[in-house]
Structure formats: C-alpha cells, structure tokens
A and B are shown apart, each in its own frame.
Chain A
C-alpha cells in the first residue's frame, strides 16, 4: 500500500485548487469551498475512529461544540492560534476522560451512547450558561472569511493526512483487525482497549479546532447551533455515501453532497429536503457500496473491457 506518485500529484493539485480559490472567486464560491473543507475535516476525522474500527459515532459534534465554546470564551484574551490549540487540546482531553468507559460500549449501543453524550454536554452547557444569565454570546471583530478559509484548509489537509497515515500504519491495521473481530484481535496481541482509546482521541482533536474556527464565522454563538446533532448526522451521511475506509471515500461523499445541496438550495429551496430525501433513498438502493465502491466497480469494468 505504498503511495503512488499519481496519488501525491492529485492530492497536491487538489490542495492548490482550494488554496487559490479565495483569490479568484466571489464570496459565494468561497462559502461553498469553506463548506466542503469544513465537512471534509470533520468527516475524515470521524473516519479515523468509525470507518477504521466500525464503532459508528453519532457524537462527532460534541468535539466541534466544545472547540467552539473554548474559542468563543478565550479568543479575545489570547492570540487566535493559541485559542485554536486550546480548542483541540480540550477536545482531546474530553475524549481521554470519557474514552475508556465509552469505548467499552459496542454496536448500536455505542451509536446511541455517543449521541446521548453529545446532547448531555450541550444541555449541561446550556443549563450552566442559563444559570449565569447568558443565553447567547455576541462576537465582535471576527476574522475575515479568507483567514477562516485558510485555517480550515490546513485542518482539512491535516485530517486527510491523519486518516491516510493511520490507514497505512500498523496501528491502522490493528484498528481494522479489531473491527473484524475484537476478541481475536486481542488474542493476537492487539492492545484493543488502548488502540480504541487512541483512535477516539485522534478523532477528537481536529473537530475541536474546526469547531473553534467556525464559531468565528458568524457573529454570535449559541449552544444549540454549535452542538446541533444534524452536524453529526451529516458527517455520517457523507462518509457512508462516500464509502470505503480511506481518505478518498469521505472526499467523494463530501464534495458530492455539498455541491448537491447548493444546487438544490439555489434552485428549489422549498423542495430541498424532499429531493434530498429521495436522492438518499435512491443512492442506497442503487449504490449500496457508496460512491467509492461504485467508482471502483466502474474502473474495474472499464479495465476489464480494455484488456
């Protein structure tokens, strides 16, 4: 599973294309690009835990929300980069604390537990803020969209590299082996509990930082938005739609869904959700292995006919 030169070239071209976008495009296109990069960063880091180990987390938003909150509270007192690092670090710390008990829970129990955990953190934060007399926070002097865009670009690239590195490393093999059969992996010497905990922490850092920087996009902060469960759901939909367990699957899913959403949103806003619903159903029925699976199949058949 060595990296081919072609793959590196494609990757670099993609980064360059995204990097020059703010110089060439209007605000609208920058917004779309930002959306792609943000979802990409979130989905790739979700995949570090969930695609690798098969522990489908429905609580990815909890790290995003924690990161948002850290930055919103601190960024006016300390430099932005420090606030972002703190956002990532506190997300990771949270993952470390809850990781061991959470990762003992399996299958659908894990799915709903992670969802419940995210909701618990959201409602606790809201209760605490209400007690202090704060319902929403207004933010002043937020950085321009280009700055946010480039930071999110860096984070998206970082989470892609993280996923690919994990995917190719012995650690990644360990994670995939415990996805197939946890007991067998343990017997063969994979330190299952430790690996799961590390994967959980790794998947928390970048979402924390993404949440932190995205909190500055709008000029106010509300816990219901920063911890919106739809964020977790969208991440899963994008990853499953993309398919596969390496970085290419999420890339397919994210770009496809963001562009589709934009097209529907601008052309048929009143039927947006209805059409999206129908498309999701059609996709599951027609492309049960996700876009990546379909693409591989297509390439396979094309090669078969060529030779």
Chain B
C-alpha cells in the first residue's frame, strides 16, 4: 500500500478505534487505582485475562451472550476489588508507618497476585490459547469490512469511556474522586471520605478491566499469559496521558492504537514494538510529565 492509501484506509481507522477504545478502558481502571491510591497494580492485565476467561466459560457452558457477561463480570470483579481492599490493601493505605513504602510494597503485592492468578488459570485451563465465535458475521460498508463483535466491542468501550467521563465531570462523587487524585491530604481535610473514594475507584477500576477482558475475548484469542503485555500497554497509556488525567488517557490510548495499526501498515510487523516503545520513550524524554501535563501532583 502507498502512503496515501494507508492514510485514507477506513479499515485502518476502524482498527485504530477498536484497539484504542479497548486500551482506553483497560488504562482507565489502572489510572483510577494509581491516581487515587498510589497502588502500582501490575496485576491489572491479569484481571483483563480473567475477564476473558469468565466470558468464555459463561458463553460455552451456559450459552450466555458476552454482552450479558460484561455485567456479570463487572459485578464479579468489583466484588474482588472490595475484598482485596478489605483484606490486603486497607492496612497498607491507612497505617502511617506503611505509607512510605506504599508504592514499593504494592508493586510486590500485585506482582505476587499476578503470578498467582496467571498460574492458577494456566493450571486449570492449560496454556492453550482459547477463542470462541460470537457475532462474527462480516458487515460491509463500501470498502470497509467489520465483524459484528468488533462493532459491539467498540460501542461498549465508547459507552464506558463517555459514561465514566461524565460521571467524573458532573457527579459530586466525581468531584471527590478528582480531589483525591490531585490533593489527597487536602481532600481529607475538607471532609472527603477518602476510604469510600478508594473503594469506589477500586471497584470501578476492576470492573472496567473485567469488561475489557470480555470484549477482548469475543474478538481475539487469549491465553493465561496475555496479562503482562496488556498491563504494560495500559501503563504506557496512563503515563503518556498523565497520571490521574482520564481524558488524556483516552487520547493516549487512541494514539497507541494508531501507532500499532498505521505504523505496522507503513513499515513491517517486525517493527511494531520498536515503534511503540520508540514513540513512548522519545515522548517522555522530551515531555517528562507526559503529553498532557498541566499540574504535577505527587
């Protein structure tokens, strides 16, 4: 394909949107959990992976449509988030003597969790990649060919992005959450219930990761080991967009999707990772606070 063809291709634009929207909701969860609690959740990708498997089980055993599974998985992941908070995280977050090592310890804790989850799934489900057919009818609009499941995934992901953005922008709770992201101590002083904010962002973050997993599972094949690359992609999105900056994250996710699809189409699949990390590293070296830095809160 020539350069002009590539840039005008609707097919690539559609692929960019689907990849970008999926990255956006995966990164959204990570951003909420890091932004409000400073927890380095390296197990975030494993949540997505488990979401994909639960969607697969529900579909193949009960014949449940993945669209309904998204709700089930969201509820399930949210409960996991709350339990995790009650039993493991609250102690780390609340006790003053542990706060200093919060990021280091959370890294260790979530790394342990990710080993645990990944290997339990690999043990139960074997390492063989899975996939299932759902709504894979191809729709054509002129030159553009889209499978039904990709259209649905795109719509669901966009709905979540818009919903969360509106929620954070307009609800009182969103205000509290943004205040905790920007100034945790000041938020506490003016009477924000920080613990409640923590729990809600954890449930939101985990639920969106689970939903992302179901969406991913109905489009592509997956294995117990897809979590780590996804977590890395999500971290890159979050960092490029700016920590705690939800809208910036969405834009960064689209950028990442565009680099993946257009970059590979213009060069070669061998260079996919070189392009991805190259753009990421170069950006951070010139803009040490990401693409959309306004104020720094640490």
Q: Which residues of A contact B (CB under 8 A)?
A: 56, 101-102, 104-109, 111-113, 115-117, 119-120, 123-124, 126-127, 130, 233, 236-237, 240-241, 270-271, 273-274, 276-281, 283-285, 288-289
Contacts and interface: CB of A to CB of B under 8 A. Distances in A.
A120 B274 contact: yes
Contact of A109 (B118, B270, B277, B290): B290
B119 A277 contact: yes
Contact of A288 (B101, B107, B298): B101
Given A109-B284, A280-B111, A281-B109, 5 more contacts: A112-B236, A116-B280, A130-B270, A240-B101, A240-B105
A284 B123 contact: no
B70 interface: no
A285 B92 CA distance: 8
Contacts of A284: 92, 105, 108-109, 112
A298 to B, nearest CB: 16
Nearest to B232: A115
Contacts of B273: 119, 123
Interface string B96-108: 0110010111011
B71 interface: no
B83 interface: no
A108 B105 contact: no
Nearest to B95: A288
Nearest to A280: B112
Interface in B4-45: 34, 40
Given A109-B288, A113-B281, A274 B116 contact: yes
B116 A277 contact: yes
Interface in B71-110: 88, 91-92, 97-98, 101, 103-105, 107-109
B117 to A, nearest CB: 8
A111 B112 CA distance: 18
Contacts of B232: 115, 119
A102 B232 CA distance: 18
A270 B104 CA distance: 28
Given A127-B271, A273-B118, A120 B112 contact: no
Interface residues of B, number: 45
Contact of B91 (A127, A274, A285): A285
B191 to A, nearest CB: 28
Given A101-B285, A274-B120, A278-B112, A108 B101 contact: no
Contact of B88 (A236, A240, A285): A285
B103 A281 contact: no
A268 B2 CA distance: 55
A117 B120 CA distance: 31
A51 to B, nearest CB: 10
Nearest to A51: B104
Contact of A274 (B123, B236, B288): B123
A8 to B, nearest CB: 30
B190 to A, nearest CB: 25
Contact of B274 (A117, A124, A241, A289): A124
B255 interface: no
B278 interface: yes
Interface of B: 34, 40, 88, 91-92, 97-98, 101, 103-105, 107-109, 111-120, 123, 232, 235-236, 239, 243, 270-271, 273-274, 277-278, 280-281, 284-286, 288-290, 298
A289 B88 contact: no
A285 B109 CA distance: 8
A253 to B, nearest CB: 11
Given A120-B274, A240-B107, A277-B112, A288 B288 contact: no
B285 to A, nearest CB: 4
Nearest to B243: A108
A117 B281 contact: yes
Contacts of B116: 273-274, 277-278, 281
A116 B103 CA distance: 19
A103 to B, nearest CB: 10
A120 B283 CA distance: 13
Contacts of A56: 103-104, 107
A127 B115 contact: no
A34 B277 CA distance: 33
A241 B298 contact: no
26 contacts: A101-B286, A105-B284, A112-B239, A113-B285, A116-B284, A117-B277, A123-B274, A127-B270, A240-B105, A271-B119, A273-B115, A273-B116, A273-B119, A274-B123, A277-B113, A277-B115, A280-B115, A281-B109, A281-B112, A281-B113, A283-B112, A285-B91, A285-B109, A288-B92, A288-B97, A288-B98
A120 B290 CA distance: 18
A227 to B, nearest CB: 11
Contacts of B88: 281, 285
B108 A280 contact: yes
Contacts of A280: 108-109, 111-112, 115
Nearest to B284: A113
